[in-house]
Amino acid sequence: MTPIQKFLARHAPILEPATLYCPEHGEYSGQYEQIHPNSERRPSPCPGCQARRAAELAEDRQRQAESAAARAWEQRLAAAGIPRRFWSLDFEDYRADLPEQRHALTTTQRYAEKFAAILERGTCLVFCGAPGTGKTHLACALLKHLLWFEDRPVAFTSTYHLLRRIKDTWRSGSEEREQAVIDRFVALDLLVLDEVGIQFGSETEKLLLFEVLNGRYEAVRPSLLISNLAAPELQHYLGARLLDRLRENDGVLVPFTWASARGDTGKTP
């Protein structure tokens, strides 16, 4: 026996088999352990208690993992600009009682499911109709589908914020260049542009909007425009040339012609 083995043998704990008792799980086979003859005898832990603590630890780790995943998902939704009001709403939450509502829902769902082909063609969508008819709900459900199932670079923004982001680069000391901001919007797989037509529509604003949407058109990147204007008014705002480009490659204009459902107690429209 080596010196180390002799040392370990002299200092090995004293183990005494015993039938032990746990107030929660009753009797169990275990042992008492003593570090040396004059030390306190300590009973081995209850297997039932050990299993419970292990299960609790596993559940706690699972909760932490789920909480971290939920936070990461919310960060992705926020980074994509999706309004918080629509974070918990999906296609299943969209109320489609009328034939026109079912058409809007199925059109958007097909667009989501076949997005790889949509991206190849650059097919655009245009939602037109009064406020409260569910345009933003469907658009956000589409973006969430693309984020969750395909991890696509997508974004939701209003025309006002798009133009503000670009015009902010004109300020003295701005760290961003106008073209860099435009290029980021152009590079997205899908850009959802809300509140089209609310602005006064100055020639400068129209030119900037045209530069973004035309840049996406030339890059074969699909866009989804949301407007409270009727189709003829939207064409007047955008101009026939830009609207024609949005309609190329089977681009779809979806009219939301029903009354607003805001304040209704049913599912979110």
Average pLDDT over residues 52-56: 96
- Predicted confidence band of residue 193 (pLDDT cuts 50, 70, 90): very high
**Number of helices (H), then strands (E), in the chain:** 10, 8
Tokens found for residue 165: 């982001």
Query: What is the per-residue pLDDT for 9?
Result: 60
CB contact at 8 A, 213 and 177: no
- Predicted confidence band of residue 265 (pLDDT cuts 50, 70, 90): very low
What distance in Å separates the CA atoms of residue 243 and residue 195, rounded to the nearest whole number? 16
What distance in Å separates the CA atoms of residue 109 and residue 56, rounded to the nearest whole number? 41
**CATH class of segment(s) 80-256:** alpha beta
Query: What is the per-residue pLDDT for 145?
Result: 98
Query: Hey, where are the domains in the chain?
Result: 13-73, 80-256
CB contact at 8 A, 192 and 154: yes
Query: What is the per-residue pLDDT for 200?
Result: 62
CB contact at 8 A, 119 and 222: yes
Average pLDDT over residues 213-238: 91
Residue 239, SS3?
coil
| DSSP code of residue 84 | G
What distance in Å separates the CA atoms of residue 108 and residue 146, rounded to the nearest whole number? 12
CB contact at 8 A, 95 and 261: yes
pLDDT surpassing 90 at residue 147: yes
Please state the length of the chain.
Answer: 269
Question: Which tens digit of pLDDT belongs to each residue from 151-173?
Answer: 999 999 999 999 999 999 999 88
Report the range of poorest mean pLDDT among 35-44, 129-138, 225-234, 249-258: 35-44
Give me the residue label for tokens 């030119």.
Answer: 207
Average pLDDT over residues 240-262: 85
Query: What is the per-residue pLDDT for 199?
Result: 67
Query: What is the per-residue pLDDT for 7?
Result: 57
Average pLDDT over residues 10-33: 88
- Predicted confidence band of residue 231 (pLDDT cuts 50, 70, 90): confident
| DSSP code of residue 219 | T
Residue 157, SS3?
strand
Question: Which tens digit of pLDDT belongs to each residue from 66-94?
Answer: 999 999 999 999 999 999 999 999 999 99
Question: Which tens digit of pLDDT belongs to each residue from 116-144?
Answer: 999 999 999 999 999 999 999 999 999 99
Report the range of poorest mean pLDDT among 104-113, 150-159, 204-213, 241-250: 241-250
